[in-house]
Every structure is written in C-alpha cells, then in structure tokens.
C-alpha cells in the first residue's frame, strides 16, 4: 500500500529494471568502500580516506565483484550500415572511441570536483555541527520557508511568452537526464527504515523540519532518499590521474544525455520494444487498446502492471479504471501537461510512419520505424535549440556559449553534467504556476472542464480521457501567459506544500527537495560556479545586490547563509536578475548554454551533422514546428506560429492551414532494382 507522498513520488519515478540492477550493483560497490574504509580506520586508529587504501586496479576488481557492468570498449561498436545510420537506443557507440559518453546508466559529468564533507561521499549537512567558513549551513526547509516561499503576493505574468515555454522545458529536461533514487528503502548498515528515521545513514538523508510543520506532522523531518551512486567504470575514469576524484561518489543518469526523443522511444531495448506496435509492418508505436478521443485519435498505452497507483476519478468511484500511461520516460504521469506532450509525439510518430509507408512501400517495418524516429529526434533538437533555448538564456548568451553549428566533434563529451541536471535546468521550477488552465475553442475558460489547482493534476491521467482529451490542456498552454520569476516570489505553495497530494495525506516541498538534492550530489557552491563561468565572485552583500537587484532578498539570504561561499548553487542562480531578453541570470545562462552546446557538438547523429539528412530533408525539417505538430495531432485548429510566444487570442493565432508543414516527399526513395 502506498501511504505517503514520498512513497507515491518514489514509486512513480522508478527506473527501468536494467537501471535498478546497475543501481543495486553501484550501492554494493559504494557500501563495500565504506566498510573497507571503516575497518582500516579502526585498525590504524585514525580517520582514513579510501584513496589511501585502494588502487585503480582494486577499484576495478571491487566493481566487478559488485556486479557493475564491464567497461564498453571501442571494439564493441559495430560498423555496419544500420549502426552508422541510426542511433542506438541506449546511446552506446554514438562516440566510437569513447562509447560510454552520453549513454544511459552512466555517470553524470563533473565540470568541477564534488564537495563532500568527508571528501568522498558524505553530503553537506551530513555531520551536525560541521562549519563552512565559520558557520553551519542552514537546513534546506528553513531556506525554502524563509526565502523561496516567503511572499504571498501573486506571481507576475509574462507579457512575451506563454505557458508552453515552461512545460516544454520540463518535457525536454526529461529527454536529457533522470537520476534514480536509491533502490533500497532502508539503511544499508543497520537496516533503519528511511521513511521512519530522522538519522543521516545511507541512503537516508532526511530533511529537517520545524516543530508542528504540516509537512512532517509531529516528526522532526521529512524522508529523503539519496540518489543512487554510479558504478565505477574503469574506462570512464582512465583519463583522471587524481584517484581522490575517481573515488568521489558520482550519480547516475539513467537515460541518454542526447536530445534523441528518448521521451518517446525509451532508452533500453526492453522499453523500446514495449513501446512499439510489433503486430503490424508499418513501424508504428503502440497505442491504448481501450480508449480513444472523440475523434478516434489514440492515447498512450497503459503500463503493463495494473492496477497501477495513479489516482482515479473521485467523482466516479465505480467508473472504468484509467491506469498510468506508458511512455519513453517513467515521469510521464507526473502532471497532465506532460501526459499531453507525450501523447502528441506518439501520435506524430505514427502519422509520419504512415506517410513514409505510403511513400516507400518497399521499406521494411524496421526502416519505417527508424526513419520516423530519426525525424522525431531531429524535431526535438530543432524546437529546443531554435525556438526554446534562445528565449531562456537570451540571444546574446546563446551566441556566446552555443554559437553556430560547426559539425560533429568527437572530442566533446555530450554527457549531462551534474550541475545542469541538479541545479541549472531546475530554474523552471520557479515558473510553474499554481493553476493549470483549460480553455475552449475560443481560448476562454472551458465551460465543462474548469481550470485545476496544480496538485489536482498530479498522477491523474484519467482527466485526459474523461475530461475532454488533449485539447483543453494544449489550448491552456498556448493561451496562458507564463509566470515570471521574481526573487521575492520564487515557488508557488502548490509545489512547496502540496506536491503530490490529492487523496494521500501530507505533502512534499519541491524547493527543499532541490536544495537537499544539490547537497546530496556534492555540488560546489554558487560562488565556485560563478568562477567556473568567468563571472565575478560575490564577496560582499553589495556585490550580491548588484547581481540580484532585490535588497530584501539579498538580506534574507545573507542572514541565513552568513557567508556568500555557503550559498547553494540552485538558490544563487535562481535569484539573479535575468539577462536582457532572457529568463535566466548570468550563471544559469552560462551553465545551460555550455550544456546544450556539448549535447549538440558531441552527438554524431545531430540533425545538422554531415550525412544524417540530405539538404532537401533539412530544409523540410526546418519548416516544421511544435505548432504544426499540435495542428496535425489534435483538434486544436488555431495556434501561434511560434508556440512559445504569448498573444491574447485571437492576436497572433493562425488557422492551422496557414502554419507551414514539412513535405515528406523529401524522404521518397526509389527502390533499388533488387527490390523490384
């Protein structure tokens, strides 16, 4: 039985079986190092670090005995036609010399060495009384209460961009990184249940709360599971001479780092197969066998293990069950807007597959599937880099950090970095509104399906099937202005007090979770990342005011942290004044820009890379847009040309007939004589 928000949140973010197996092996490896270190320290009667005890050869042996996968060697990469034409589902061998770069189930990249209290694996805040620059770090829940949710004023609305900008960011984040939590629910040494203890004992790292806090009831903490460590991989660390850094706890990215539409297709052979309709010869994705919308358009299939824990319609307890949906990413059911975007892209794949089958009847089911997948991946890349990222980091930062495409660079590591996935790209949490608006054909409040408080959209896929399909939600995304981040109003109470709450008592605090996750991952502080980006360090309160502009918020942060070097990177980046024409400050613009460039330049299958598409195909891909995808796969018949720009309907909205579309004739291929 799932009793608490944390249990539900954890259950519905479970990684694939393959990832869980690797996580378990990594946890055995990590626990073995702890035991060896502890025993040696007792024997020598002094604190030792693992780097004093073990060589790289020892680590490789322990990793092997723990069940970590063996290193992927270049010789493993096939050189056949399919391997050169289509990316592997796990990302392996994208880089032929370094086959593990960017792959699923590999370590997040470190742009700066991790900072742990013991130098190796204990997060900041693990040892009570530990001082930083002469002060203790403030507990994350106190930071959330006093800074991130301190204002009751309503969020400001964006005059330029619509809500789709926010939700595309979340969707695309789920294409780049997913860090699984520990597979164990109890402490490895001692067996304490993480849901019941307030002790820091791996993998439990509970969040301290105030007395009588409604999040924790009568307890002094909220449960928090550490992220699973990454398995030691000999080849991944071969270039690192410093064994101290090699021995630091790393975290895993369970999905591919590439912008490859893994949200649609998955990241393991098993999941990819489960998502395909293998009963026909047209290269399609599987669809729901029980429900379609009123126009006969398909929904995503349900998860194989039912009944699933997604919420049901409370107004119709005897009604037909609507289970959790199955998609390429397990987080699909978290919020209705994500379900809508996932459904849209499944439909777009099948639309394209049908067209390619008509154009090229000689193509096999596998070729149709792979060609449609390649087109969908390219569209994810184009929409993200052409339409989304410049609005987030600003055109100037885009030109500085990303710039024009110069071709595939096999020396660029495309792996998602720890600071990007755990801090910088979580800037979007501050732009999530408290209400999901659902609109009718005139882009006004829907007569039958009213707008919903955000917490009523969590894990509730039944609302799409029983409450009007995708259209009210999609119109809400296009016809509602986005929220603007201001330092004095950062996160809505829907996220800090009612995350994952509907019929389950209690709640979670997303701001506290983010800060605790950053400490769990050993992220260096705000000032170190400013130095990394070539920005001036913050030395005084006046320096900080120059960057934040809000003296009251600066005062609150400095009162809590006492020293600028102690400020968590997510908080510091979030309160910076946005750059002109952007939605992020200088630090996050830098970190996001650098990451997107690396993902682009280090991807052998990037859509602009030589030989991936013909010139004619590239021209057609550029004609397509997210607005066109919405037009082709829903009953929405008007949309803005740029789906991220806000215009008060009907200003800026075009009939779908006037929105350009790619011509798939560019993919027509004459059969070779042997196929006739």
Q: What is the DSSP string of 479-532?
A: HSEEEEPBTTB-S-HHHHT-BT-SSSSS-B-HHHHHHHHHHHTTPPPHHHHHHH
pLDDT of residue 528: 98
Residue 667's pLDDT band (cuts 50, 70, 90): very high
Give 565-603 pLDDT, tens digit per residue. Answer: 999 999 999 999 999 999 999 999 999 999 999 999 999
Q: Which backbone phi and psi does 540 adopt, to 5 degrees?
A: -135, 170
CA–CA dist 631, 637 (Å, integer): 6
Lowest mean pLDDT, pick from 155-159, 336-340, 381-385, 650-654? 155-159
Q: What is the pTM of this model?
A: 0.94
CA–CA dist 484, 283 (Å, integer): 42
Give the mean pLDDT of 70-98: 86
* Domain residue extents for the chain: 71-168+205-224+252-669
CA–CA dist 638, 633 (Å, integer): 13
Q: Which residues fall in the annotated binding site?
A: 429
Give 371-429 pLDDT, tens digit per residue. Answer: 999 999 999 999 999 999 999 999 999 999 999 999 999 999 999 999 999 999 998 88
Residue 676's pLDDT band (cuts 50, 70, 90): very low
**DSSP secondary structure string, 380-402?**
HHHIIIIIIHHHHH-HHHHHHHT
**DSSP secondary structure string, 424-470?**
GGGGGGGG--SEE--B-TTSSB-SSS--EEGGGGTT-THHHHHTT-S
End-to-end CA distance of the chain: 59
> DSSP 3-state assignment of 119?
coil
% pLDDT > 70, the chain: 91
CA–CA dist 74, 70 (Å, integer): 13
pLDDT of residue 405: 98
Residue 495's pLDDT band (cuts 50, 70, 90): low
For the beta carbon of residue 277, count every other beta carbon within 10 angstroms.
16
More confident residue, 604 or 72: 604
Q: Which residues fall in the annotated binding site for heme b?
A: 429
Enumerate the active-site residues.
174
pLDDT of residue 504: 33
Most confident of 148-162, 211-225, 299-313, 529-543: 529-543
CA–CA dist 300, 326 (Å, integer): 6
Nearest to 18 by CA among 263, 340, 270: 270
Nearest to 644 by CA among 345, 343, 391: 391
Residue 272's pLDDT band (cuts 50, 70, 90): very high
Give 293-302 pLDDT, tens digit per residue. Answer: 999 999 999 9
413 and 594 Cβ atoms separated by less than 8 Å: no
Architecture of domain 71-168+205-224+252-669: Orthogonal Bundle (1.10)
Lowest mean pLDDT, pick from 36-45, 169-178, 537-546? 36-45
The strand pair at 638-640 and 481-484 is best described as unpaired
Give the mean pLDDT of 654-658: 97
pLDDT of residue 505: 38
Average per-residue pLDDT for the chain: 89
Q: Residue 155's Cα: distance from chain center in Å?
A: 24
CA–CA dist 12, 331 (Å, integer): 7
pLDDT of residue 675: 55
Give 417-471 pLDDT, tens digit per residue. Answer: 999 999 999 988 888 888 999 999 999 999 999 999 988 898 999 999 999 999 9
Q: Which helix (H) or strand (E) holds 368?
A: helix 365-382
Q: Residue 361's Cα: distance from chain center in Å?
A: 38
CA–CA dist 60, 320 (Å, integer): 52
* Residue 3 in this model has a pLDDT that exceeds 50: no
464 and 299 Cβ atoms separated by less than 8 Å: yes
* Residue 75 in this model has a pLDDT that exceeds 80: no
CA–CA dist 300, 349 (Å, integer): 12
Give 215-271 pLDDT, tens digit per residue. Answer: 656 678 888 889 999 998 765 444 445 777 788 999 999 999 999 999 999 999 999
pLDDT of residue 497: 56
CA–CA dist 458, 481 (Å, integer): 21
Lowest mean pLDDT, pick from 336-345, 485-494, 552-561? 485-494
pLDDT of residue 260: 98
Residue with tokens 């050993």: 522
Give the mean pLDDT of 66-91: 84
* Residue 345 in this model has a pLDDT that exceeds 90: yes
More confident residue, 320 or 491: 320
% pLDDT > 90, the chain: 68
* Residue 522 in this model has a pLDDT that exceeds 80: yes
CA–CA dist 425, 430 (Å, integer): 11
pLDDT of residue 432: 83
Q: Which helix (H) or strand (E) holds 37?
A: helix 17-44
* Residue 501 in this model has a pLDDT that exceeds 90: no
Handedness of CA 541, 542, 546, 548 (dihedral sign): positive
CA–CA dist 26, 20 (Å, integer): 10
Beta bridge partners of 251: 229
Give 22-33 pLDDT, tens digit per residue. Answer: 999 999 999 898
| Burial of 499 (C-beta count, 10 Å sphere; 0-12/13-18/19+) | buried
CA–CA dist 389, 412 (Å, integer): 20
Q: Where are the alpha helices (DSSP H) in 177-268?
A: 243-246, 262-265
């Amino acid at each position: 039985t799932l009793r608490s928000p944390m249990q539900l949140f954890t259950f519905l973010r479970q990684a694939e079986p393959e990832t869980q197996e690797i996580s378990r092996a990594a946890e055995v490896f990590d626990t073995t190092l702890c035991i060896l270190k502890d025993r040696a320290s007792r024997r020598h009667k002094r604190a030792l670090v693992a780097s004093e005890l073990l060589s790289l050869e020892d680590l490789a042996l322990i990793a092997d005995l723990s069940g970590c996968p063996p290193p992927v060697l270049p010789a493993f990469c096939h050189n056949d036609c399919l391997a050169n034409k289509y990316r592997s589902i796990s990302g392996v061998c994208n880089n032929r010399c370094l086959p593990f770069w960017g792959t699923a189930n590999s370590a997040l990249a470190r742009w700066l060495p991790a900072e742990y209290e013991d130098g190796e694996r204990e997060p900041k805040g693990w040892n009570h009384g530990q001082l930083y620059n002469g002060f203790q770090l403030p507990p994350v829940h106190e930071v959330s209460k006093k800074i991130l949710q301190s204002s009751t004023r309503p969020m400001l609305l964006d005059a330029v961009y619509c809500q789709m900008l926010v939700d595309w960011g979340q969707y695309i984040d789920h294409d780049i990184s997913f860090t699984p939590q520990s597979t164990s629910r109890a402490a490895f040494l001692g067996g304490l249940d993480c849901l019941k203890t307030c002790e820091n004992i791996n993998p439990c790292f509970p969040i301290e709360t105030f007395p009588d806090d409604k999040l924790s009831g009568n307890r002094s903490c909220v449960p928090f599971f550490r992220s699973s460590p990454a398995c030691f991989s000999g080849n991944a660390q071969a270039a690192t001479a410093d064994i101290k850094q090699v021995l630091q706890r790393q975290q895993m990215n369970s999905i591919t780092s590439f912008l490859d539409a893994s949200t649609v297709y998955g990241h393991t052979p098993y999941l990819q197969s489960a998502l395909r309709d293998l009963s026909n010869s047209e290269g399609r994705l599987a669809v729901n066998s029980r429900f379609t919308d009123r126009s006969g358009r398909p929904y995503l299939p349900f998860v194989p293990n039912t009944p699933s824990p997604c919420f049901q319609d409370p107004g119709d307890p005897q009604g037909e069950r609507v289970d959790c949906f199955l998609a390429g990413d397990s987080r699909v059911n978290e919020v209705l807007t994500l379900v809508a975007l996932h459904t849209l892209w499944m439909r777009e794949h099948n639309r394209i597959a049908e067209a390619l089958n008509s154009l090229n009847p000689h193509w096999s089911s596998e070729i149709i599937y792979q060609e449609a997948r390649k087109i969908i991946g390219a569209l994810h890349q184009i929409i993200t880099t052409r339409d989304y990222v410049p609005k987030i980091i600003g055109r100037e930062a885009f030109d500085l950090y990303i710039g024009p495409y110069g071709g595939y660079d096999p020396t660029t590591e495309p792996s998602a970095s720890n600071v990007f996935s755990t801090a910088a790209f979580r800037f979007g949490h501050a732009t999530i509104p408290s209400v999901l608006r659902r609109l009718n054909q005139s882009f006004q409040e829907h007569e039958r399906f009213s707008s919903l408080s955000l917490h009523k959209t969590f894990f509730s896929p039944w609302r799409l099937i029983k409450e009007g399909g995708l259209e009210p939600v999609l119109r809400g995304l296009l016809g509602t202005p986005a929220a603007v981040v201001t330092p004095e109003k950062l996160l809505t109470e829907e996220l800090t007090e009612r995350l994952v709450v509907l019929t389950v008592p209690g709640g979670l605090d997303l701001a506290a979770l983010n800060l605790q996750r950053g400490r769990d991952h050993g992220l260096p502080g705000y000032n170190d990342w400013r130095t990394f980006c070539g920005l001036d360090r913050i030395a005084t309160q006046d320096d900080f005011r120059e960057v934040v502009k809000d003296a009251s918020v600066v005062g609150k942060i400095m009162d809590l942290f006492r020293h600028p070097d102690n400020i968590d990177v997510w908080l510091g980046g979030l309160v910076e004044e946005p750059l002109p024409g952007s939605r992020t400050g200088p630090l996050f613009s830098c970190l996001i820009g650098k990451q997107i460039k690396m993902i682009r330049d280090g991807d052998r299958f990037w859509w602009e890379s030589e030989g991936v598409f013909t010139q004619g195909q590239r021209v057609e891909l550029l004609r397509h847009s997210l607005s066109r995808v919405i037009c082709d796969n829903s009953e929405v018949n008007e949309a803005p040309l740029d789906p991220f720009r806000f215009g008060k309907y009907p200003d800026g909205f075009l009939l779908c007939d006037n929105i350009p579309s790619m011509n798939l004739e560019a993919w027509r291929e004459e059969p070779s004589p042997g196929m006739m």
